[in-house]
């Protein structure tokens, strides 16, 4: 039997905009998602927008019992900035009451909440002022963070600032998937930098408000594997890792940006605007733990005719179609559990063996109702196999001394996922959109319960 360390967190992850619903109700102001759906509904799979995500605003009490039902001892979700502070300054009392009761009910179910502050949901009022492109957003975020710590810090002691900050940089400022769909490498670097400073300022506020709590950040880790060990391919791998992983991981843990990243950005005339105090702020405000979302690696190779200086990241590295890769046929993503071992070793060797956890890992499946049995249960053996394969490699990393304290799946109940709407299902519970968001446990929920009970498999 593979046993995990005592007190290991067996949980699941989700986010406010993807699960709460009530997108325009109970005092919430619009985020960029609400605005984008209103103006461009055709971009969203089956016109499924952010207004009515899995309805947890109404069902949270029962959902907390469901968490217990499948053995979760922790949950990560987020607070909606636009619900807590609709205009950025004034506290919404309904939001405070809702979140306090929700978090308390989690705890009453034996579920430790890990609370995240930002999961791609930029307030529209702030976006109109320039969003993450402008420094003003850093202070607006620090105020929001401080408010959240003050309002909920007596219930929640483990916090994170951002989920996958590189994703809103890539999707919003390089590839047009998220609003404002700008395509501009230099702006993308500025947005990344301002997000990093917002994280740093939130950590600074945290230390003042909750000196006994713990704070971290959640990063998407897609370790790069190069086509060959030629110097060109190795450079491509390094550029991918610097931009996508080390850009946040290094300052979060070591309190400084990697010199190689500063050099890369300079060579390509992408250096962002900074403020004199930033270096000191970064140095002082490192984190207590790291969350890493892992789905798939990046296979990279050197581009053939890159623009110099780079106009897009593709001038530094391009995807490589590794012929041996195993694919999740229901989502198209590569399945490569071995990377979790590499990540575990990287955290041990390059990041002071800081406490970390797998903050998301999961298998998305389109048209999952095809696996439904007569009794209504989805028999998702493919998901059980996926989790077990990943846990095999995580366990190996832990046995070799990596300081991993938990494993969270994406996700608890099927949820709305940005432009993909409800296409890819990941939950332990199926959500029936035709039937008032009714939840039905999948087979993987039963498996997870045993896993958590035995602290291993
Ligand atoms: C994660 C994000 O990276 O991927 C989630 O944190 C998202 O917000 C999840 O829903 C699944 O994405 P997709 O594209 O398969 O629906």
Q: Is 420 in the pocket of ligand 1 (CB under 6 A)?
A: yes
- Structure token pair of residue 139: 């202070």
Per-residue pLDDT tens digits for 75-119: 999 999 999 999 999 999 999 999 999 999 999 999 999 999 999
CA of 417 relative to ligand 1 center, distance in Å: 6
Q: Is 164 in the pocket of ligand 1 (CB under 6 A)?
A: yes
CA angle 196, 155, 15 (to 5 degrees): 50
Mean pLDDT of 343-368: 98
Task: State the Rg of the chain over Cα.
Answer: 21
Per-residue pLDDT tens digits for 363-384: 999 999 999 999 999 999 999 9
Name every residue whose Cβ is closer than 8 Å to that of residue 374 and which is 6 or more positions away in sequence: none
Mean pLDDT of 422-445: 97
Taking the CA of residue 163 as reference, the ligand 1 atom at the shortest distance is 6
Rounded Cα–Cα distance for residues 26 and 346 (Å):
44
Question: What distances in angstroms separate CA 401 from CA 109, 254, 275, 377, one per listed residue?
Answer: 31, 20, 39, 39
In order, the DSSP letters of 367-417 are TGGGGB-TTS-B--HHHHHHHHHHHHHHHHHHHTT--EEEEEEE-SB----
Mean pLDDT of 45-60: 96
CA of 304 relative to ligand 1 center, distance in Å: 31
- Fill in the DSSP letter of residue 223: -
The pLDDT value recorded for residue 68 is 98
Which of 164, 170, 238, 368 is the catalytic position?
Answer: 164
Query: Does 42 participate in catalysis according to the annotation?
Result: no
Q: Is 424 in the pocket of ligand 1 (CB under 6 A)?
A: yes
CA of 18 relative to ligand 1 center, distance in Å: 10
Rounded Cα–Cα distance for residues 166 and 197 (Å):
14
Question: What distances in angstroms separate CA 178 from CA 165, 377, 406, 427, one per listed residue?
Answer: 13, 34, 30, 23
Rounded Cα–Cα distance for residues 38 and 50 (Å):
10
CA of 64 relative to ligand 1 center, distance in Å: 22
> Mean pLDDT score of the chain, rounded to an integer?
98
The pLDDT value recorded for residue 27 is 97
Name every residue whose Cβ is closer than 8 Å to that of residue 96 and which is 6 or more positions away in sequence: 84, 151
The pLDDT value recorded for residue 357 is 99
Mean pLDDT of 165-171: 98
CA of 155 relative to ligand 1 center, distance in Å: 27
Mean pLDDT of 413-441: 97
Taking the CA of residue 295 as reference, the ligand 1 atom at the shortest distance is 3
CA of 222 relative to ligand 1 center, distance in Å: 14
If pLDDT is split at 50, 70 and 90, which confidence band does 314 have? very high
Mean pLDDT of 128-150: 98
3-state secondary structure of 254: helix
Which residue out of 45, 418, 419 has the highest number of ligand 1 atoms within 8 Å of its CB and is therefore the one to mutate? 418
Q: Domain spans of the chain? A: 9-454
Which residue out of 217, 417, 421, 431 has the highest number of ligand 1 atoms within 8 Å of its CB and is therefore the one to mutate? 417
Which of 20, 133, 205, 360 is the catalytic position?
Answer: 360
Fold assignment, 9-454: TIM Barrel (3.20.20)
If pLDDT is split at 50, 70 and 90, which confidence band does 184 have? very high
Going by C-alpha positions, the residue among 77, 206, 232 that lies closest to residue 147 is 206
The pLDDT value recorded for residue 244 is 97
pTM of the model: 0.98
Per-residue pLDDT tens digits for 207-234: 999 999 999 999 999 999 999 999 999 9
Q: Is 222 in the pocket of ligand 1 (CB under 6 A)?
A: no
Q: Establish whether this prediction's ipTM goes over 0.95.
A: yes
If pLDDT is split at 50, 70 and 90, which confidence band does 408 have? very high
Taking the CA of residue 119 as reference, the ligand 1 atom at the shortest distance is 8
Instruction: Give the CA dihedral 178, 183, 185, 189, nearest 10 degrees.
Output: -30
Per-residue pLDDT tens digits for 34-50: 999 999 999 999 999 99
Q: List alpha helices for 153-241, DSSP H.
A: 165-173, 185-209, 231-241
Question: What distances in angstroms separate CA 17 from CA 54, 139, 158, 316, 366, one per listed residue?
Answer: 9, 22, 20, 33, 21
- Structure token pair of residue 254: 């070591």
């Amino acid at each position: 039997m593979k046993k995990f360390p005592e007190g290991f967190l067996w949980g699941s992850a989700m986010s406010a905009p993807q699960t709460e619903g009530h997108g325009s109700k109970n005092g919430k102001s619009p985020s960029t998602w609400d605005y984008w759906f209103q103006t461009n509904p055709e971009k969203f799979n089956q016109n499924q927008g952010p207004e009515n995500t899995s309805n947890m605003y109404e069902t949270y009490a029962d959902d907390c019992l469901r968490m217990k039902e499948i053995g979760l001892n922790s949950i990560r979700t987020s607070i909606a900035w636009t619900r807590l502070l609709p205009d950025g300054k004034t506290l919404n009392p309904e939001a405070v009451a809702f979140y306090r009761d929700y978090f308390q009910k989690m705890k009453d179910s034996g579920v430790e909440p890990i609370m995240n502050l930002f999961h791609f949901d930029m307030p529209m009022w702030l976006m109109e002022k320039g969003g993450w492109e402008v420094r003003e957003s850093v202070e607006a975020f620090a105020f929001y963070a401080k408010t959240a710590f003050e309002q909920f810090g007596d219930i929640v002691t483990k916090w994170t600032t951002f989920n996958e900050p590189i994703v809103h940089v890539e999707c919003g400022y390089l590839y047009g998937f998220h609003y404002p769909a700008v395509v501009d490498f230099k702006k993308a670097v500025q947005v990344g930098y301002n997000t990093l400073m917002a994280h740093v300022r939130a950590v600074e506020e945290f230390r003042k408000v909750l000196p006994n709590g713990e704070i971290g950040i959640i990063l998407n880790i897609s370790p790069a594997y190069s086509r060959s060990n030629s110097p060109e391919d190795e450079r491509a791998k390094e550029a991918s890792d610097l931009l996508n992983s080390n850009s946040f991981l290094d300052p979060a843990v070591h309190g400084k940006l990697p010199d190689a990243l500063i050099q890369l950005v300079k060579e390509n005339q992408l250096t962002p605007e900074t403020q004199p105090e930033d270096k000191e702020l970064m140095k002082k405000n490192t984190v207590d733990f790291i969350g890493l979302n892992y789905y798939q690696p990046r296979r990279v190779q050197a581009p053939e005719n890159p623009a110099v200086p780079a106009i897009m990241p593709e001038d530094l590295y391009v995807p490589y179609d590794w012929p041996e890769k195993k694919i999740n046929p229901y989502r198209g993503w590569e399945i490569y559990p071995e990377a979790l071992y590499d990540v575990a070793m990287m955290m041990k060797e390059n990041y002071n063996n800081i406490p970390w956890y797998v903050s998301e890992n999961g298998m998305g499946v389109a048209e999952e109702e095809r696996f439904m049995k007569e009794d209504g249960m989805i028999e998702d053996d493919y998901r059980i196999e996926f989790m077990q394969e990943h846990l095999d490699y995580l366990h190996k990393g832990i046995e070799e001394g990596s300081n991993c304290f938990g494993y969270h799946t994406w996700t608890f109940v099927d949820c709305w996922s940005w432009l993909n709407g409800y296409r890819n299902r990941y939950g332990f519970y199926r959500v029936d959109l035709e039937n008032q968001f009714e939840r039905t446990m999948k087979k993987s929920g039963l498996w997870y319960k045993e896993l958590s009970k035995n602290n291993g498999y």
